[in-house]
Each structure stands twice: as structure tokens, then as C-alpha cells.
Amino acid sequence: MSEFLSNEPMLDMFVFETAQNIEQLEKTILDGEKTSRFSKTEIDEIFRIMHTIKGSSAMMSFKGISSLSHRIEDLFFYIRENPETDYDCSVVTDLILESVDFISGELENMKNGIFNESDSTWLEEKLCKTLRTVKGSDAAVLATEDEETAQANDEAAQADAKEDFGDWAELAGPCADEEARVSVAANLFQVVLHFVEGCDMENIRAFNIVYLLKKHAAGIRHFPEDLDSNESRDYIRRHGFTAFFRTDLSEEEVRGFFSQEVFLKEYSLVQFEYEADFEKEQASFDREPDAAGTKAPKPVPAQQRTQAANSGQSIISVNVAKLDALMDMIGELVIAESMVLHNPDLYGLQLDNFHKSAHQLHKITSELQDLAMSIRMVPLRNTFQKMHRIVRDMSRKCSKEVDLLITGEETEVDKNVIDHISDPLMHLVRNALDHGLESQEERLEKGKPPKGTVLLGARNEGGEIQIFVRDDGKGLNKAKLLKRAKENGLLTKPEHEMTEKEIYHLIFHTGFSTSDTITEYSGRGVGMDVVLRNIEGLGGRVSVESEEGKGTQFTVHFPMTLAIIDGMNVRVGNCTYTLPITVIKETIKPSGKDVIRDPQGNEMILFRGECCPVVRLHQIYGVRADTETISEGIVVMVETSDKMAGVFVDELIGENQVVVKALPRYINQISGIAGCTILGDGSISLILDVAGLAA
Amino acid sequence: MKKVLIVDDAAFMRLAIRRVLEKNNFEVVGEAPNGEVSIVKYAECRPDVVTMDITMPDMSGIEALKKIRELDPDAKVVMVSAMGQESMVKEAIISGAKSFIVKPFKEDHIVQMLKKIAG
């Protein structure tokens, strides 16, 4: 139904729902592979998913997806109906995963407005071949199903399944008993029916008519006789459906009966006066071999649906754009509230009742804010589940046996984070397998279990969300890291002065790779820098812990929310800047001697025995500051993923909640500025991006 | 305006049918994502006609059809089927389904069917 294609909401819905189904399919298939046999529930689930995708994609006229899902449906139909069948689970899994990738690719294209369907015939051929193999291995079945196999072989196989035809006799049996009592002197009729083109399943429509006719008529004979096969359907399409019957109904009543049928294009009704003519006419059909049709295929048990799923009644899907808008509005509300409560007109007034009401207002806005925030929170479950596939593919290609353990998948993070965390996480998991874990021989030599473990987890801790990837592999080799960094000229200070943290963070440098061999997945030195950039782009940071011989852990830290943050407002001259509270370690009022200069002449401040660079905002942004003397201002110590810095400011204004707004488009990206916010008095404050400042 | 209840586990299909029907002067009085909910909704909304998907989790369309017909022997239910479900469509007909449509269907086909069935 291509009229849907031009229909944006339909397309959105299709893409969204199909993507969800595909994800579920991937999960189910990977679960099944673990036990090297699909359970009945899993087969039913896969079958149902493919059936849904087939239907929806056919409605959207996406023939590739539709016929591909049809092939999978066929395969799983066979497996379901023949539980004893011997099939290679991993071969089937590979095929389904390939199909999942194909469909995902198509969906991705659609999202980008590309509707040229890719060619799926190669995949369909593979699926047909697998179905043949599966059937072939079933020696007992083979003999009886030659015909069906031949049909599957048919390259131009029609879009319809030769699936589950029920037992005609069994179904028709009970209604035969109910056949109407018709007097001997009944009226004799012949009717020829033609159905509306494209209404499909003409044979079943004919069955429907015969079924209903039995309530009024007797001695019904129809051609084709067998209404179960695709041949009968094609016959009816070409020649129409002919029935002979005796009834007490008058011609008018019979016409009334047929006019009720929905998809009838036309029909011709003939009434016979003489029994002999009636018989003769029927006999002429008997002689026509085509019309008699083939015998019904063997009966197949009817489908049963046992898959459990929630009814979804209490859950609705909401477009993310609406949530974004809601969040924006609440942000505006928070700003407006702050503008009212801190209005300069109120200064110095005795306003007890006002403050009481203001307090109540504040309570409601912050509750509203929490609520809106919680709506945006999505569990990490799906993102984590996707990693099973990565681990499976990687462990095969690298020939390493790996157990992926997942904890804390129920941890919720902002939808925005979910959308962007997948790629960096995937990279970390791949790295853990490729670089972190040793080969099996190596592990055995070291007395480790041959199977490696990768732990993927998430937790809420100290107002932030931590997502970690830990492996029990060889750990980072500091000497090797330093050597490689030196070769690439990445060292900014003498080796012996580098802290452990700084050494580990070398791997985030662009163009850094310690892997001696380049694999398909990693070792090309692109990646970790992108990982870091992506995560910092989301307002997060990465930390690395490692112990040689024991393993490595990468932890991604995110603030709980990204839209509204707790900020510390600071002043430099007449400009206000905001620093996220989460990055502030301490504020100090330094004395002149705390500040030293390194050999390059850069200002450094000693903080807990560590030398940190001093960032002078007035120099970077060309602002006239009240003072340029360190001892007269304040230094705010901030920490990013790998380093600390002291931000020199005139004074601290205070802490409050700020709504993060993107910089307007006409201002290009400025390093060190993450966005801006509107303060209570209506003035604008720039939110500092500490990672950018310290870089 | 004739009242219709749409039963389908795929939100996409529900939306597709809803849009077609609303464009053609039907009133969609409810949607249900599975058989169980459809029975509750049927009792609540008393639609003139129900479009019932066959393949659904938990309770199939055929089971739901039977339950709805128990509830209201005059219930008009049409099945939304797909190629390959011939035997199930037959079962539905014997269980009292008024007619059926095969996915992917044409807009005028479903409209024509529902107009005729709803009377």
C-alpha cells in the first residue's frame, strides 16, 4: 500500500516498531544459540516477530524486507512444525543475524530518506538453501515432501506461503451435519462467482461462501472441489468459482444471499427446471481435470500462541521531540521562577507572605522538573543487550572464548545519553575483547581460566551514573604505552613525572595504538579518541583503572541529568560564567607562592602535591578582569577525565540550578564553552566545558 | 458513523487501519494490542465491527473472536490475516468471523468490507 509511504507518521511508526522487533529478534536468537537449540517459546516468538514485520513492510510496499521476513517465517514454520528436525543452530543464527543487519540497514536508510531498497535475494537464497538442508536432513520427511521442497526451490516462489493448510475434512465435517434440511422439490441452482481482483485467498473466500450456503442449501457441489491448495486459488482467479446446490430459497432470496458477500465482483446465477439438466451440467465439470483440483495436502496442526508479553495498556509511546519540548518549557519555567523570586524590585522589602508562597512555588517547580526528568530516563537494558551480539561476533573472529556478564542493566539514564552511548560502549567492549583479553593458550599459560570474562555494568553513585567495562585480561602495560607515546611524539612531559592516570590516558590520544597487529576491529588507532570525544560531548568523562596481568576497567561517568545542572556561578570582570558543580574539586584562595612556572613558562598551581595548569578566563576570552594577581582572586580547582586545572576567577557568585541551553547557531563552537544559561536577573552566563578548557 | 474496534499487536498496523478508517467516516472507538484487551474493550465500547489480527501474543485473534462471540452472538468481527494463514482464516470463519482481509490490503478493500459488514 504505497499510499502509506508518503505518509510520514506511518513511516515513523513503521521504522520505530520494526527496529524494536528486530532488537527483540536479535536477543531471542542469541539466547537460543547459547543452548544450541531454540526452545518452543523462542521459535514462536521469532515466528511472530517475522510475521509482524512481513505484514507491516508489505503494507509499506517494502518488498525486500517483506519477502526476506517471509523466508525466515517459512524456515521457522518448518522448525516449529517439525520439532524433531535436526538443524545447525549456529548456521540458522548466523543467517538470522545477517537478516537482522540487512533490515537494520534498510531502516537506517529510511531514516535518512533513502527508499531505494537493497537487494535481498542473496540472503533469501541462503535462507531457502538452509530450509532445504534442514528438510533434507530429515530423512523421514524427505520422501513425503518432495513436492514442497520443489516448491521452495522455485526461484520465482510466489509471495504466498504453502504454510499451514488445515484439514479440510475436519473443518468441513461438523458443518456438513448442520446442512440445511431441504425439501425434495427444492430449487436447483448453478452459480459462478468472480471475486474482486487483488482480494487474495479466493479459495478461502469460496470456502466462506460454501460454509454459509450450507445453512440454506443441500447437495452442494463446487468446482474446484478442493479449496485448500494454491492451485485452487489460481483456478478461481482465472475461471471463477462454480457451485451447484438445492435450496428452498427463491431466486430472489439466493441473489440476496450472494449480494452480502463482500469481495464479490460479479456472479451469474442459473436456475434449472429439470433435474436431468442440473446433473448433466455438474457432470461436465467432473470431466474437466483442472476444476477437480488436487487433493488436500496432509493436515498440519493449527497454530498456537503461547508467547507471553505484556499488554502494554498502561504504557504509551511519546515522540521524543515532545519530551524535549516539555523539558525546554520546564527550563523556561525554572528561569522565570528564578527571575520572579530574585527580582531586583524586591530587594530590601519585607515580604514574609511572598516568601512563603515563593517557597511553595519552588517546591512545585522542582518536583515538576524531577518528574519531567524521570520521564526521559530509559533503562540501559537494550543498549547492554546489544553487546551480546558484539561479543558473539568478536569472540568468533578472534577465536577467544568470552563470557559477557551484565549487571545494573536496570539503571536509567537520560534518553539523550542512551542515543549516543551505544557506539562508544561498543568500542570499549570490542577493545576489551581484542586488546584486553589474551588468547586461550596465553591464558592457560598464566593459569587463568581459558574463557575470558567481560563485565559490563552500570550503577548510580554519588549523583552520577557510572557505566563500566571490565575485562580480566592482561591489563595495560605502562612501559609499552610510554614507549609508543614517545615514538609518536605524544609525551608532553618527562616519563618519570607522568602519573599512572596520565599514562593510561595516553590511549585516548588521536593516532595512538599499542596493538602490534591490526585487526578488523581495532588496532588502527582510531577509536579511543573518538570514544572520549563522544562521551565528553555528552557531558561525561572516562576513567581508566588497570592492573597488569589482572585486567582493565574503563568507567564512563555521566551526571544524572544533562538538561538542568547544578552550577557554580563565577564572575570575571563583568562577565558571569557557570561551572558544573560535579567537576569542582575545591575552591582555593591561593597565596602568590603556590603558583610556579614550568620550563615553558606556563603558570602552574600546586594542589595536593600535584602541579595543575592555571586557566585564566580573562586571557582566553579577552575580558577585562578586576584583578590579574593570583592572590587577589580565587582559583576553582576542576577535574576532567584525566587532568586537573585551576580556573582563575574574580569571585564566586553562588550556586544554583541552571538550565543548559545550546549556543545560538550564529556563534561557532568555542572551545571551553559547553552552552549558556539565563540567570535569575535575566543576564546570560556561559557554561564552561572544563575538558575543553584544560586541553 | 459506524464504530470500529481495532485489534492488532503491531502499533503500525493499528495506526494504518485507523488512518484509513478515519478518512472514510468510521469512528475508531478503541484499539487493543492483544486478544485479552480486545474482549474488555469490546464490552466497553460495543463497536459495530471489530478488525481482528490473527497472530498475536498471549491470546490469538481466533480465541478472542470466540470469546467476543460468546459475549455477543451478534458481534461482527472481520479478520486481518496474511498469506499463509489460510487454515486459520477457515477456523475463524467457522468460529463466526464475518469476512477477512489479507495483508497487504488496499485502502478501498478494507473500507468496502467494513461498510458492507457494519451495514
- A644 CB burial (10 A radius; 0-12, 13-18, 19+): buried
- B75 CB burial (10 A radius; 0-12, 13-18, 19+): buried
> Is B100 within 8 Å of A58 when comparing Cβ atoms?
no
> Is B102 within 8 Å of A201 when comparing Cβ atoms?
yes
Nearest CA in chain B to A9: B15
Q: Which three cell numbers stand for residue A410?
A: 536496570
A230 Cβ contact partners less than 8 Å away, ≥ 6 residues apart = A158, A160, A162, A203
Helix, strand or coil, per DSSP, at residue A605: strand
Q: Nearest CA to B11 among A475, A106, A59, A473?
A: A59
User: Contact A406/A502 with Cβ under 8 angstroms?
Assistant: no
Instruction: Judge if ipTM > 0.95.
Output: no
Give the confidence band of B42 by pLDDT, cuts at 50, 70, 90.
very high
Interchain contact B45–A (C-beta under 8 A)? no
CA-based nearest distance B16→chain A, Å: 7
Q: In chain A, helix, strand, coil percent, each to 5?
A: 45, 20, 30
> Is B19 within 8 Å of A14 when comparing Cβ atoms?
no
Interchain contact B82–A (C-beta under 8 A)? yes
Distance from C-alpha of B37 to C-alpha of A309, rounded to nearest angstrom: 12
Q: Which CATH architecture has domain A168-292?
A: 2-Layer Sandwich (3.30)
In the prediction, which pLDDT does A276 show?
Answer: 80
Helix, strand or coil, per DSSP, at residue A687: strand
Which superfamily does A2-153 belong to? HPT domain (1.20.120.160)
CATH code of A564-694, in short, is 2.40.50.180
A12 Cβ contact partners less than 8 Å away, ≥ 6 residues apart = none
Q: Which three cell numbers stand for residue A468?
A: 563500566
> Is A196 within 8 Å of B109 when comparing Cβ atoms?
yes
Interchain contact B60–A (C-beta under 8 A)? yes
Per-residue pLDDT tens over the stretch A13-55: 888 889 989 988 988 888 888 887 888 888 888 888 998 899 8
Distance from C-alpha of A190 to C-alpha of A272, rounded to nearest angstrom: 8
Range ranked top by mean pLDDT from A341-345, A603-607, A683-687, B26-30: B26-30
Give the confidence band of A348 by pLDDT, cuts at 50, 70, 90.
confident
Lowest-confidence pick of A273-282, A345-354, B90-99, B110-119: A273-282
Interchain contact B102–A (C-beta under 8 A)? yes
CA A517 to chain CA centroid, nearest Å: 33
Residue, of B110 and A522, whose pLDDT is higher: B110
Rounded to the nearest 10°, the torsion over CA A575, A576, A577, A582 is 160
Chain A residues with beta carbon closer than 8 angstroms to that of B105? 1, 59
Q: Domains of chain A: which residue ranges?
A: 2-153, 168-292, 320-376, 378-559, 564-694
Average pLDDT, chain A: 79
CA-based nearest distance A239→chain B, Å: 20
Helix, strand or coil, per DSSP, at residue A271: strand
Interchain contact B14–A (C-beta under 8 A)? no
Determine how many CB atoms are found less than 10 A away from the CB of residue A592.
Answer: 9
Determine how many CB atoms are found less than 10 A away from the CB of residue A112.
Answer: 8
Nearest residue, CB atoms, B86 vs list A17, A66, A201:
A201
Chain B residues with beta carbon closer than 8 angstroms to that of A9? 15
CA-based nearest distance A262→chain B, Å: 6
User: Contact A294/A203 with Cβ under 8 angstroms?
Assistant: no
Q: What percent of chain A has pLDDT over 70?
A: 84
What is the b/e burial string over A183-213, where b = at least 16 CB atoms within 10 angstroms of the residue's CB? Answer: eeebbbbbbebbbbeebbbbbbbbbbbbbbb
Could you check whether the bond before residue A224 is cis, i.e. omega within 30 degrees of 0?
Answer: yes
In the prediction, which pLDDT does B100 show?
Answer: 93
In the prediction, which pLDDT does B30 show?
Answer: 93
Chain B residues with beta carbon closer than 8 angstroms to that of A207? 90, 93
Range list of β-strands (E), chain B: 2-7, 26-32, 49-53, 77-82, 99-103
> Is B93 within 8 Å of A211 when comparing Cβ atoms?
yes
Chain B residues with beta carbon closer than 8 angstroms to that of A7? 19
Q: What is the CATH number of the domain that holds B55?
A: 3.40.50.2300
Give the total number of structural domains in chain B: 1
Give the confidence band of A160 by pLDDT, cuts at 50, 70, 90.
very low
Chain A residues with beta carbon closer than 8 angstroms to that of B101? 199
- The single-letter code of the amino acid at B112 is Q
Cell match 516498531: residue?
Answer: A17
Chain B residues with beta carbon closer than 8 angstroms to that of A14? 12
> Is B16 within 8 Å of A54 when comparing Cβ atoms?
no
Q: Which three cell numbers stand for residue A369?
A: 522538573
> Is A171 within 8 Å of B112 when comparing Cβ atoms?
no
Interchain contact B44–A (C-beta under 8 A)? no
| pLDDT score of A328 more than 60 | yes
A to B CB pairs, distance under 8 Å: 150
Fold of the CATH domain A378-559 = Heat Shock Protein 90 (3.30.565)
Helix, strand or coil, per DSSP, at residue A232: helix
What is the b/e burial string over B51-67, where b = at least 16 CB atoms within 10 angstroms of the residue's CB? Answer: bbbbbbbbbbbbbbbbb
In the prediction, which pLDDT does A554 show?
Answer: 93
A609 Cβ contact partners less than 8 Å away, ≥ 6 residues apart = none
Q: Which of A53, A201, A232, A316 to mutate to test the interface with B (most CBs of B within 10 A)?
A: A201
Distance from C-alpha of A263 to C-alpha of A201, rounded to nearest angstrom: 11
> Is A311 within 8 Å of B107 when comparing Cβ atoms?
no
Lowest-confidence pick of A259-268, A542-551, A561-570, B93-102: A561-570
CA geometry: angle A368, A372, A374, nearest 5 deg: 115
Chain B residues with beta carbon closer than 8 angstroms to that of A160? 83-84
Cell match 575483547: residue?
Answer: A433
Interchain contact B39–A (C-beta under 8 A)? no
Taking residues A125-140, what's their average pLDDT? 77
> Is A262 within 8 Å of B55 when comparing Cβ atoms?
no
Chain B residues with beta carbon closer than 8 angstroms to that of A171? 87, 90-91, 94
Interchain contact B81–A (C-beta under 8 A)? yes
Q: Nearest CA to A560 among A440, A488, A465?
A: A465
Q: Is the dihedral angle over the CA atoms A105, A111, A112, A114 positive or is it negative? A: positive
Per-residue pLDDT tens over the stretch B51-74: 999 988 888 899 999 999 999 999
CA-based nearest distance A48→chain B, Å: 7
